[in-house]
Amino acid sequence: MKKVILEYKRVELIITRIAHQLVENHGSFENTAILALQPRGTFFGKILAEKIKSLFKIDIHYGELDTTFYRDDFRRNNKLLIPNEVNIDFNIEDKNIVLIDDVLYTGRSIRAALDAINAYGRPKSVELVTLINRKYNREVPIQPDYTGEDIDTRANDYVKVDWKDDQCRIWIITDKEK
């Protein structure tokens, strides 16, 4: 069964809310950078970064991080893990890093991201923003600092975030069909 759980109007409100929360905590973003996770976190990351820029008229460092080489499931299944592009044109040493992903589920991608970040230097701090927080079935002790929406799902549900023309609609699919 497929069910829409969030339409774009609601997502837009969420993005505006998180933008305000981030500026409340990071001020002018002088020593803060946004790092969106490849591949799917970059849609959300770009829109959130643009929202902060347009609402508060500030410049922010925005980059995209790929975690493929740090994943713990390489050679654990038959799927080939193809890496994505990394775009980080600033120094992360001693910066406050805001990691962005669309869905937080087992937490393993974020664990890999924490390893990947260290290859670029030692950040002052790392925070996590996630559009959807699937509360159950976490496999590592990782929690978001900013959440769009908490949802209750079962292990065989699938949450799909569809981005089209910078708008998004979020589905929950409950019969395993992906």
Partner 1 sequence: MSALSSKHLLGIKDVSKKDIQLIFKTAENFKEVLNRPIKKVPSLRDITVANIFFENSTRTKISFELAEKRLSADIVNFNSGTSSINKGETLIDTVNNILAMKVDMVVMRHPAPGAAKFLSNHIDANIVNAGDGTHEHPTQALLDAYTLTEKLSNLSNKNILLVGDIIHSRVALSNIYCLQKLGANVRVCGPPNLIPNHIESLGIEVSYDLKESLNWCDAANLLRIQLERQDDKYFPSLREYSLQYGINQEILNQVDKDIIIMHPGPINRGVEITSQVADSNNSVILNQVENGVAIRMAILYLLSSN
- Nearest 5°: the CA angle 5, 64, 126 is 80
Sites for partner 1 among residues 76-135 (CB under 8 A): 80-86, 115, 118-121
Q: Based on CB atoms, which residue is closest to partner 1, 55 or 81?
A: 81
| Binding window for partner 1 (CB under 8 A); candidates: 43-51, 62-70, 135-143, 148-156 | 62-70
**For residues 96-105, b (16+ Cβ closer than 10 Å) or e, as one string?**
bbbbbbbbbb
What is the rounded CA–CA span in Å between residue 67 and residue 157? 24
54 scored as a contact of partner 1 (CB under 8 A): no
Asked if residues 6 and 149 have their Cβ atoms less than 8 Å apart, the reply is: yes
Asked if residues 96 and 124 have their Cβ atoms less than 8 Å apart, the reply is: yes
What is the rounded CA–CA span in Å between residue 21 and residue 143? 17
**Least CB distance from residue 104 to partner 1, whole Å?**
22
| Binding window for partner 1 (CB under 8 A); candidates: 72-80, 95-103, 153-161, 168-176 | 72-80
Give how many residues touch partner 1 by CB under 8 A. Answer: 18
Q: Based on CB atoms, which residue is closest to partner 1, 11 or 97?
A: 97
Instruction: Give the footprint of partner 1 on this chain (CB under 8 A).
Output: 66, 68-70, 74-75, 80-86, 115, 118-121
